[in-house]
Amino acid sequence: MSPLAPWQQRILDAALASLAEGRLGHALLFTGAPRMGKLEVAQVLVRRLLCATPGADGLACGRCRGCELAAAGTHPDFRNVSFIPVEKGDKLRSEIIVDQMRELGPWFALTPQMGGAQVALISPAHALNLNAANALLKTLEEPATNRYLILVTDRPGRLPATIRSRCQRLEFRPPARDEAVAWLRARGHADAVLGPALDAARGHPGLAEDWLANGGLALRREVQADLNALATGRQSPVPLAQRWLGDEQAELRLRFAAELVLDGISQRLAAGPASGLTLPADFQKLSTWFDGVNRAREQLAVPVLRHDLALAGLLLEWRSMFSEPAMQGARR
Ligand SMILES: [Zn+2]
């Protein structure tokens, strides 16, 4: 396992300190943006909770029977709750269902087989459907000694407030810029590229690294060029919509399109340097467009919709924002 990043280590240290002082909640909610390392930290904590003889550093010893079983994925007092396969076929469900939660209550009522803690890790917790969330609530209402429920999600707002309010929250926030820069440098990224990547990722180092490694920044520049070309009539909405949706990068393109508009608006409001994306000054229309792109992003998950038509409509709106006479004077 690679060492934890400083912002991950801080959260782990806080959780271990709470545990040592007997203040660790029986229900924990790990939240924060994707790629902040929530699951990694949760797993380190799970291994500590399952260890019979933790070290002086407060971590799992790595040698006891509990640690061996945890490493093998066969610890009887641990449940990993995530997506299970659909009834027919080998595809995974897209939500966590009530049966998975109903099993947890009676399981938590058993005496732990290894005599230590019992731990259930639910990830991604926002995938709990309504019935599953209600069933989980019942388990949360009956806290017991040495039983831990760990929920991991980057969308805590999708969990019922009744669940959130019963959890101790561990929130992963983007670190200070210096720390993010140092971490990316240490992972071999040059200053010339890591700065723009961190800006694009709004300070989230894990996301910046992902984009550096997988061509995300190049895709962002491509989206910017496409929007510029559309505005000046060098691109047409329909083929562009088809191209944007043509591969598995569709969601990321729409994310970048929305963020470029947002960046352009804030830069214009701050009268800072141009973003490379020429925007009309009609903020009302731009914000409507921003909302539309975000809606289109969410709807990508719904297979039956004609995403190409919806997106072509949005791109047409984009072009028309630049061709209206009232706008043209405001282009500079
Ligand atoms: Zn151990």
pLDDT tens by residue, 25-60: 999 999 999 999 999 999 999 999 999 999 999 999
Residue the block writes with tokens 């388990």: 139
CA separation for the pair 324, 318 (Å, rounded): 11
How far does the centroid of ligand 1 lie from the alpha carbon of residue 43, in Å? 14
pLDDT tens track for 64-106? 999 999 999 999 999 999 999 888 878 888 899 999 999 998 9
For 173, which DSSP code? -
Same domain assignment for residues 160 and 250: no
> Residues 6 or more apart from 246 whose CB is under 8 A from it?
none
237 within some domain: yes
Residues in the chain with pLDDT < 50?
A: 326-332
Same domain assignment for residues 155 and 55: yes
How far does the centroid of ligand 1 lie from the alpha carbon of residue 68, in Å? 7
How far does the centroid of ligand 1 lie from the alpha carbon of residue 45, in Å? 12
Q: Is residue 207 within 8 Å of 35, Cβ to Cβ? A: yes
We report the CATH number of the domain holding residue 277 as: 1.20.272.10
* Residue whose C-alpha is closest to residue 253's, from 226, 287, 223: 223
Q: Could you list which residues have their CB under 5 Å from ion ligand 1?
A: 51, 60-61, 64, 67
How far does the centroid of ligand 1 lie from the alpha carbon of residue 36, in Å? 26
Same domain assignment for residues 49 and 160: yes
91 within some domain: yes
54 within some domain: yes
How far does the centroid of ligand 1 lie from the alpha carbon of residue 61, in Å? 4
Same domain assignment for residues 127 and 222: no
How far does the centroid of ligand 1 lie from the alpha carbon of residue 17, in Å? 18
Same domain assignment for residues 158 and 225: no
What is the reported pLDDT for 301? Answer: 80
What is the reported pLDDT for 328? Answer: 47
How far does the centroid of ligand 1 lie from the alpha carbon of residue 235, in Å? 61
Tokens of 102: 């109903």
189 within some domain: no
Question: Total structural domains in the chain?
Answer: 2
Of the candidates 138, 172, 206, which is a domain's last residue? 172
Residue the block writes with tokens 């990321």: 252
179 within some domain: no
187 within some domain: no
Tell me the helix, strand and coil percentages in the chain, rounded to 5.
55, 10, 35
We report the CATH number of the domain holding residue 154 as: 3.40.50.300
Question: Across 39-146, where does the E strand assignment appear?
Answer: 78-81, 118-122
Same domain assignment for residues 157 and 249: no
Residue the block writes with tokens 């969410």: 298
Same domain assignment for residues 227 and 132: no
186 within some domain: no
How far does the centroid of ligand 1 lie from the alpha carbon of residue 114, in Å? 12
Tell me which long-range contacts 277-282 makes (C-beta under 8 A, separation of at least 24): 277/224, 277/227, 277/228, 278/228, 278/231, 278/322, 278/331, 280/321, 280/322, 280/327, 280/330, 280/331, 281/327, 281/330, 282/321, 282/327, 282/330
pTM of the full structure: 0.84
How far does the centroid of ligand 1 lie from the alpha carbon of residue 63, in Å? 5
CA terminus-to-terminus distance, the chain: 52
How far does the centroid of ligand 1 lie from the alpha carbon of residue 48, in Å? 7
For residue 52, give its domain range: 6-172
Q: Is residue 42 within 8 Å of 121, Cβ to Cβ? A: yes
114 within some domain: yes
